[in-house]
Amino acid sequence: MGFIVGLLIGLVVGLGIIVLFVRSENSRSKLRNELAKMVAAFARMTVEDSRKILPAQFYPSWVVFSQRQKLNWLNQHLTKIWPYVDKAASDLIKASVEPVLEQYRPIILSSLKFSKFTLGTVAPQFTGVSIVEDGADSVTMEMEMQWDANSSIILDIKTYLGVSLPVQVKDIGFTGVFRFIFKPLVNEFPCFGAVCFSLRKKKKLDFTLKVIGGDISTIPGLSDAIESTIRDAIEDSIMWPVRKIIPILPGDYSDLELKPVGMLEVKLVQARDLTNKDIIGKSDPYAVLHVRPLPSRTKKSKTINNELNPIWNEHYEFIIEDATTQHLVVKIYDDEGVQAAELIGCAQVQLKELEPGKVKDVWLNLVKDLEIQRDTKYRGQVVNDSLNPVWNQTFDFVVEDGLHDMLILEVWDHDTFGKDYMGRCILTLTRVILEGEYKDSLQLEGAKSGKLNLYLKWMPQPIFRDS
């Protein structure tokens, strides 16, 4: 979360330049009405559009570069100022995040604090930008960011048994889209009253936990509990529709704050044909439901013992802040008593698919991981008895949202009696959209060795085939 500070600095400076240009060309009375339209128009311009306006010799060389090249100025400046951002932000983040961690602290721990927190020497990089037309009095910007950090973060945890352990958070890998709302547009410099920011979409968040001088696996359930705490804290502290407001000019910005817009009523009826997680007998399933993972807003069903077709018939209510983007998450667990519960499967319902005031009955297919759940999937051919398989297969995917969609490739070992997961690669689409086509060799995540060689080509128009 610390990289937000650096991000804001670059964005405010960049947007300020655009605003000043517009201000010099338009009268003060038209500024608020015209600014959002002009910024959005510039965002939609292509290289071809710029060539139609002026011959190449009359505009700077960067205009002919791709959008990725245009973002280089921001990445370069952020890299230069990153040591100062790290130093200034680390103490601030430590002080603001610790209360959030305490709120989500697992029940098995008596204390969860930072003993060391630095962002590291590697600055995040921006890979995509878009402007969302929001109205005459505001500008909404979304920026995709990648960060493979070398942060130095150590958690000082204590259990109720009196055990104190320093846990290092390392190998942080993050890809996500941040939303910035500049509102209201005003006549005073820097021409907007406040900046509102939020993590609009979290595509990837990987990290590892390591006890300094020991093995975290020696305490059963500790690693999973801490990892879940970190993910939930991030999810509910900056994930949209949660938003952080930074006032730039004095004023009342309560209209930017998070407010309830409705209530979701849910009836958890039953489940069928659940996977049995027990060696002896059957699973003891219970459900956990939430729209936001805040502990006070998470609902837990009763446990149905020794049953793979449980019937609950329980009612819940959830406060909704943004029906267009929020979703209901349902996770089914096997109750293991004093041991940590084992996930049987999970599913989600997009609230935008529901009609206000109307009841919708749905059966949800359980998956192992919501992060990689997708509607369009292809399976490659099985290459027998080979550690160097060659597929040479072509797959076409229809992309609805180039800024947010991802391509996920998984490699499995296909055996006679089943299949074993070997590793995966996750790609954003920004590079292939900007460059048109490219070849790359990608390291398999989750595997000790192995790479995938890919050739990707972007087709700007949808491909239609005769049925």
Contacts of residue 38, defined as CB under 8 A and 6 or more positions apart, other chains included, come to 22
313 against 166, higher pLDDT: 313
**342 pLDDT tier (thresholds 50, 70, 90):** confident
Q: Which CATH code is given to the segment(s) 374-462? A: 2.60.40.150
Task: Give the least confident one: 56-60, 103-107, 212-216, 262-266.
Answer: 56-60
Identical topology for domains 262-372 and 374-462 = yes
Task: State the pTM of this model.
Answer: 0.58
58 against 369, higher pLDDT: 369
Q: What is the pLDDT of residues 283-317, one digit of tens each?
A: 899 999 999 887 788 999 999 999 999 999 999 99
CB 335, CB 315: distance < 8 Å:
no
Question: What percent of the residues of the chain are helix, what percent strand, and what percent coil, each to the nearest 5?
Answer: 25, 35, 35
End-to-end CA separation in angstroms for the chain: 48
- Tell me the C-alpha distance between 92 and 84, whole Å: 13
- Tell me the C-alpha distance between 236 and 239, whole Å: 6
Residue 152 to residues 89, 312, 344, 425: CA-CA distances in angstroms? 13, 45, 34, 26
**193 pLDDT tier (thresholds 50, 70, 90):** confident
DSSP 174-195: EEEEEEEEEEEE-SSTTSEEEE
**195 pLDDT tier (thresholds 50, 70, 90):** confident
Among 261, 110, 247, 266, which Cα is nearest to 190's?
247
- Averaged pLDDT, 187-198: 84
Contacts of residue 415, defined as CB under 8 A and 6 or more positions apart, other chains included, come to none
Q: Which two tokens stand for residue 434?
A: 């900007």
Give the percent of the chain with pLDDT over 90.
Answer: 11
Give the DSSP H/E element, type plus range, for residue 22. helix 3-25
Region at 166 (left for phi over 0; alpha for psi -120 to 50; beta for the rest): beta
Instruction: Say whether pLDDT at 114 is over 70.
Output: yes
Give the DSSP H/E element, type plus range, for residue 115. strand 109-118
Q: How far is CA 397 from the centre of its chain?
A: 22
DSSP 296-351: GG-EEPPP-TT-SS-EEEEEEEEEES-TTT-EEEEEEEE--TTSPPEEEEEEEEEG
* Residue type for position 365: N
Q: Which two tokens stand for residue 268?
A: 């958890």
Among 299, 241, 221, which Cα is nearest to 266's?
299
CB 297, CB 318: distance < 8 Å:
yes
Instruction: Say whether pLDDT at 60 is over 50.
Output: no
Among 66, 81, 87, 91, which Cα is nearest to 123's?
81
- Tell me the C-alpha distance between 405 and 351, whole Å: 19
Structural domain spans, the chain: 3-256, 262-372, 374-462
- Tell me the C-alpha distance between 354 and 262, whole Å: 13
Q: Which CATH code is given to the segment(s) 262-372? A: 2.60.40.150
